[in-house]
Amino acid sequence: MMTANKMLVRRYFEEVLSAGNLALIDTLISPSYVSHYPAGYELGGGPEDVRQIVTSVRRAFPNVHFTVEDVIAEDDTVVCRWTFRGEQEGDFMGIPASGKKATVMGIAVYRVANGQIVEAWFTWDALGLMRQLDEE
């Protein structure tokens, strides 16, 4: 089961986040999905929560690529250390399109049940991203 859970999370990063396959969200994300973001904002949960985030990121960084650096699984929990790389071509978190390239690292912890992601916690270098996009 741990291998299946790790493959599920890798598939999410590769096919949804990096490739932009929004149709796959309903397959990989549970209708009862709950996310926990570092800024504390709430988008309402479920697949629509993920769709909003992915759309926002990909609108600002159309060439975004997430590299999965490490994946560790135990029981129903999968931890993923990732690197985000992209060039900002649209507004993102209040910063207008800059054309600048950015690289950011983060960690996500996922809880998986019945072959779907049901809960997630995120931590990432948001300040580092803002600095890269806002540099003169």
Domain at 10, CATH number: 3.10.450.50
pLDDT category at 136 given cuts 50, 70, 90 is: low
Structure confidence by residue, pLDDT tens digits, 65-93: 999 999 999 999 999 999 999 999 999 98
Helix (H, G, I), strand (E, B) or coil at 125: coil
Owning domain of residue 44: 2-134
Average of per-residue pLDDT values in the chain: 93
What distance in Å separates the CA atoms of residue 124 and residue 12, rounded to the nearest whole number? 17
Residue 47: per-residue pLDDT: 96
Kindly report the pTM of this predicted structure: 0.91
The pLDDT tens digits for 47-69 are 999 999 999 999 999 999 999 99
At which residue do the structure tokens 């949960």 appear? 45
Domain count, the chain: 1
The predicted structure's pLDDT at residue 81: 98
Provide the pLDDT confidence category of residue 37 given band limits of 50, 70 and 90.
confident
